[in-house]
Structure 1
Amino acid sequence: MKTNVYVLYGGKSVEHEVSLKSASAILNALDRSKFNVYPVYITKEGIWCNLGLLEEEIEDVKQLQIEPSTTVAKSIGEFLAKDFREGEKNIIFPAIHGINGEDGTIQGLLELLDVPYVGNEVLSSAAGMDKVIMRDIFARHGIPQTEYTSLRLHNWKEDEERCYQQVEEKIGYPCYIKPANSGSSVGISRAENRKELKKSFQEAFLYDCKIIIEREVIGREMQTSVIGNDYPKASVSGEFIMERPFFDYNAKYIDGTIIPVVPARLEPAVADNVREMAIKSFKVLNCYGLARVDIFVTDDNQVLVNEVNTMPGFTALSMTPVLWEATDGTTYAELIEWLIQLAFQRYQQKKSILYTRGVEE
């Protein structure tokens, strides 16, 4: 019997369009001789729409979008009652980036449904999505990183001057201001003075009620993919040739100005250190399945962890598949099947856990 793979994509997130690109590639790469493929579109309002069994390749992401005429709760109920083939061999592949998909919310629902799913679980997803929590965990475990501080929206509204002074005294200029929960560089900006800092706060608070401010790191950013469950492996690292001070959303997904270099230009000892730090970060956040760990390497070869992305972009040209192709020849289709196998393994591991007390004799 074939495995039913339900690919969730879209979502109520600023990364909605990025998710469509990832899903299109995943759907086309799944081997139809092994899998029944079901695209499940989640609209920007959060409504679930099952497109049915997919037999042909997706040529345009517009094919993955439909206009629903129902409510969020009703759409989820209809999917579970009518579209989800209960009793068969099923797995969910959440190809959703950002809020409401990568932050543990979808994962929590799937845990309640008791269905295997690809990628990180509730805890690692939530911790990886919240940049402040992630950095607090790194600090607790001695993982090297840049100096940072965080502020909440109500603090800023109550006393703007005090917030700006806190940043200037603790972090200084230049610094980066980011929404605590966001991805794909949405809402992120760089400030070199008070005027730019004010504007950056305004921008970041549009996307979250908590922001993080980080001291700028002068160095090259390495991206390393880590895949596995209890014994994760790290790929070779890759980097991008810098054409801007930092890669905003347009540079990553619209302008096409990013030039990847794989493997990254690192001395062997430094490359090993980066991979070891990537695996350590993966384990510290309790990750399972996959993650992409972004790490700065300074001119004197100091290694500083920037962040862990628990559901990185997943088109055939995204860094994760490119890194594994360069590491050991793993193809895009093989990578997807590897992640599905890991998901089933983790699901079986969790099934052995007792959730009720045993009967005492």
Structure 2
Amino acid sequence: MAKQKICVLFGGVSSEHEVSLMSAASVIRNIPADRYEVIPVGITKKGRWLYYPGPVANLADGSWEQYPDCVPAFISPDATDRGIVKCVDGAFTLQKVDAVFPVLHGKGGEDGTVQGLLELAGIPYVGCGVLSSALCMDKAAANLVMDAAGIDRCEWDYMTRAELPGFDAVADRLERRLGWPIFVKPANAGSSVGISKAHDRRELLDAVHLALAHDTRIVFERFVTGQEVECAVMGNDGPQGTLPGEILASQEFYTYDDKYLAGTSRVVIPAQLAPEKLEEVRVTAVRAYRTLCCTGLARVDFFVEAGTGRVLLNEINTMPGFTDISMYPKLMLHAGMTYGGLLDRLIQLAFERKETANG
């Protein structure tokens, strides 16, 4: 039986470029080689697409871009092509692919843009579709949908860049609604990029300027004292959630450096919660997954508030990290899957969703 050709997309133009490189290296190393042939295509920070036939070891440090056998390549939006167009010595050739695994985090990869291209191309792809990817990426839009669905979360608010001249009025509103301290986040960013914790108005204004460097809209959240827990969900029409794991951050809150660079946070699986609370988190994760139209996979993040025990949904990540220290694969491995088995199942879910869409 011929191997199926899987294009692994990595890199991207977002602030999470480096995380994508680490995730993709882990994915490529663990995809079952007896079933799949990997076709790696990288996207530089400047947005250039390159077919990369070199060693996986060159991904993490970014040296893959200088590999001499890299050639320009892109996914053809022509649904009759079903593949990647390579430019070699001025001539264009078509490489057919069976599916795409977009190991891309953040803007330009996890926000529905690449998913839209793949829908036009008619190629099955791993992960959530256009609507759910765009919705989950935008924290303000996702929060509004969760509020409408009655999914409990902490008190929150948002503003746009256009409201900055009236900052005092915004600060008055936030102080009344949320109190201090306040978490400040770009509406469209991931991996804790651009997030600050403000204790007063001066810090709040600094945090707003930092968040506006990453997006034109900002989400504000009431500070929650409690446990940070995450649940891995997988599936299309019948999604299943794992027991949640707990993050023991080494800093005041779970930062980008803590997640991917310093590696100083710790993970406990299952989370240190009573059995009935673990089940409540799991059930709520699957409900949120369905509410936001997710398919394939997602990591659903929560706070369990100290004192009240309330389970408060924080956010949904439609392409969670796949690095060696990432929570999603750790939760799935704890549930009894192998890394290769996990990747195989995600690829098969991509084929199943495509078949369902075609009727």
Fold equivalence (TM over 0.5) = yes
Which residue of 92, 99, 102 maps to 2:107?
99
User: Matched residues in 1 for 2:102 and 2:63: separation?
Assistant: 15
| Paired position in structure 1 for 2:166 | 159
Query: Amino acid of the residue matched to residue 212 of structure 1?
Result: V
- Alpha carbons 1:223, 1:238 under 8 Å: kept: yes
Which structure 1 residue ranges, 5 or more long, are not aligned? 353-361
| Paired position in structure 2 for 1:355 | none
User: Matched residues in 1 for 2:195 and 2:295: separation?
Assistant: 27
Per-residue deviation at 1:74? 7.9
| Paired position in structure 2 for 1:358 | none
Per-residue deviation at 1:41? 0.5
Which structure 2 residue ranges, 5 or more long, are not aligned? 77-82, 87-91
CA 1:30/1:84 → structure 2, altered by over 3 Å: closer, same or farther?
farther
Per-residue deviation at 1:60? 5.4
User: Matched residues in 1 for 2:323 and 2:63: separation?
Assistant: 15
Alignment of 1:223 onto 2:224: no
Query: Amino acid of the residue matched to residue 140 of structure 2?
Result: V
CA deviation string 1:214-243 (max 9, x = no partner): 111111011000000000000111011233
Alignment of 1:33 onto 2:34: yes
| Paired position in structure 1 for 2:79 | none
| Paired position in structure 1 for 2:314 | 306
Per-residue deviation at 1:61? 2.2
Alignment of 1:66 onto 2:71: no
| Paired position in structure 2 for 1:356 | none
Alignment of 1:80 onto 2:80: no
Q: Residues 166-205 of structure 1: matches in 2 within 5 Å?
A: 166-205=173-212
CA 1:240/1:284 → structure 2, altered by over 3 Å: closer, same or farther?
same
Alignment of 1:143 onto 2:144: no
- Alpha carbons 1:49, 1:79 under 8 Å: kept: no
- Alpha carbons 1:235, 1:324 under 8 Å: kept: yes
Per-residue deviation at 1:292? 0.2
> Could you say what secondary structure the match of 1:23 adopts?
helix
- Alpha carbons 2:75, 2:121 under 8 Å: kept: no
Query: Amino acid of the residue matched to residue 310 of structure 1?
Result: T
CA 1:63/1:248 → structure 2, altered by over 3 Å: closer, same or farther?
closer
> Could you say what secondary structure the match of 2:331 adopts?
helix
Which residue of 254, 264, 272 maps to 1:257?
264
CA 1:74/1:3 → structure 2, altered by over 3 Å: closer, same or farther?
closer
Which residue of 329, 332, 337 maps to 1:330?
337
Which residue of 345, 352, 358 maps to 1:345?
352
| Paired position in structure 2 for 1:7 | 8
User: Matched residues in 1 for 2:105 and 2:156: separation?
Assistant: 24
Query: Amino acid of the residue matched to residue 185 of structure 1?
Result: S
> Could you say what secondary structure the match of 1:236 adopts?
coil
User: Matched residues in 2 for 1:74 and 1:2: separation?
Assistant: 22
Per-residue deviation at 1:83? 5.8
Query: Amino acid of the residue matched to residue 107 of structure 1?
Result: Q
User: Matched residues in 2 for 1:174 and 1:51: separation?
Assistant: 46
| Paired position in structure 2 for 1:278 | 285
Per-residue deviation at 1:248? 1.2
| Paired position in structure 2 for 1:119 | 127
> Could you say what secondary structure the match of 1:13 adopts?
coil
CA deviation string 1:185-231 (max 9, x = no partner): 00000011111111111111110000000111111011000000000
Query: Amino acid of the residue matched to residue 92 of structure 1?
Result: V
Aligned length: 343
CA deviation string 1:29-51 (max 9, x = no partner): 11222111111000111111011
Query: Amino acid of the residue matched to residue 233 of structure 2?
Result: V
- Alpha carbons 1:49, 1:68 under 8 Å: kept: no
CA deviation string 1:69-116 (max 9, x = no partner): 9xxx98556943646523xx6100000000000000000000000000
- Alpha carbons 2:244, 2:270 under 8 Å: kept: yes
| Identity of matched residues, % | 40
User: Matched residues in 1 for 2:192 and 2:354: separation?
Assistant: 32
- Alpha carbons 1:28, 1:58 under 8 Å: kept: no
- Alpha carbons 2:15, 2:193 under 8 Å: kept: yes
CA 1:19/1:248 → structure 2, altered by over 3 Å: closer, same or farther?
same
Alignment of 1:129 onto 2:130: no
CA 1:74/1:223 → structure 2, altered by over 3 Å: closer, same or farther?
closer
Q: Which aligned runs of 4 or more in structure 1 are off by greater than 2 angstroms?
A: 56-65, 73-86
- Alpha carbons 2:41, 2:73 under 8 Å: kept: no
Query: Amino acid of the residue matched to residue 183 of structure 2?
Result: Y
TM-score by length of 2: 0.91
